[in-house]
Amino acid sequence: MLKKFIARVIERATAKKAHPRKAKVLTAAEHGIDRAKLSRGALGTVEGLHKAGYEAYVVGGAVRDLLLGGVPKDFDVATNATPEQVHATFRRSRMIGRRFRIVHVMFGQETVEVSTFRTADLSDAPTDEHGRVLRDNTFGSLADDATRRDFTINSLYYDPEAQTVIDHHGGVADLKKKVLRIIGDPATRYREDPVRMLRVTRFAARLGFAIDPKTRAPIRELADLLTNVPASRLFDEMMKLLLSGHAVACIRQLRDEQLHHGLLPLLDVILEQPLGEKFVMLALARTDERIGMGKGVSPGFLFAALLWHEALAKWNELKARGEHATPALFEAMGLVIDAQREKLAIQHRIAADMREIWSLQPRLDRRGRNAAKLLEHPRFRAAYDFLLLRAQSGELDTEVADWWTTFIDAMPEARLEMMAPKPGGDGAPRKRRRRRRPAAEGDATPPAS
């Protein structure tokens, strides 16, 4: 009881310190936000709440990106209306969440996330033994909500009707200085939600900002708190990190902050191996490039690349014990994916894509008379791109990748010639078959005697 009382006193004192005496209000001439960059859904949500008599602002990352001159991908709105009142205001809306109740408001294909101002006093919020907030649906004022935001650059509120920006914690100044600073006591804020440590690395890498020394100081000491975060939340955060368009920089930042250990097996071991690191960084660089060009990215392909060397090591280990290649591969895939699911809640659909991409690699390595059938496989293109990565990283002979590149573009007659068995080469005819076993990866068919 005494410990809880002391914790509440400290938390309330921290909250008071985090409140500035007066928020700074910037006019349109001062902040320079182009209102035309706001989506129809964001404008419609704010307007609808204003007409219903509530306060409402575009908030967080959207305001940050607008101030930096970018165009936000999505928009969040904060209001003093309760989730039930927001839901009643918009016909096309739904309430979601238990830990934090919010409302999704739909405008055509766009979804705007609406949250109610949260209180700055968490003394009565249920927490686990490490201080992580388990549920937070106690509401407060705009100033309270600004204090509850994680970083100063995300604690900015834009009123599109008055065209003003409300800045409670010096976020605009930090944007100009390119500094990432947490609001309040860093250790307390990380204990409330350990995922904030991952968000620090993602924002610093994505924006190219320096991390404030006080914000960085407790991270290594508190990194183990991430093991208490639900696997589904870690998966969501890792997806944001890997699909940010700055995945290479994010992974490097994770390593700099010592947050990679235990999060993904490959980050513990593979990145310390030259061949593994080259393969992973090539995969992430390709992902960043595709996102930068506005192209889609397959999460299944991305996780297949991230965990490939883990699966490869397990496969070689099983084969060394005497297991046949094909069953050993499927067993290795299962072991790696199951182990990973204990920390990240990888969806079944993504896991299925990973298995198909991996299982096609030995078949692509062998080429031969079944090559034409492989072209019809629904995951062939992904498996082929994966093969190219393996060749680029030096794991696989480039001859195999070149063969498939030529085969894909070849005319039917040329494909038949390429698939025909050649004396002394892969796919050559054999007079007799002494044993029945699947060929191991890289095995060549023995020449006829």
Active site residues: 74, 76, 150
Pair 205, 180: CB distance under 8 Å:
no
Residue whose structure tokens are 């991230």: 306
Q: Are 77 and 89 in contact (CB under 8 A)?
A: no
Cα–Cα distance for residue pair 281/272, rounded to 1 Å: 12
- Three-state DSSP class for residue 427: coil
**First-residue to last-residue Cα distance in the chain:** 84
Q: How far apart, in whole angstroms, are the C-alpha atoms of residue 47 and residue 57? A: 10
CA-based torsion, 163, 169, 170, 174: positive or negative: negative
Instruction: Give residue 9's region: left, alpha or beta (phi > 0; psi -120 to 50).
Output: alpha
Q: Alpha-carbon distance 187 to 221, whole Å?
A: 9
**CA distance linking residue 443 with residue 52, whole number of Å:** 71
Tell me the two tokens of residue 18. 């985090």
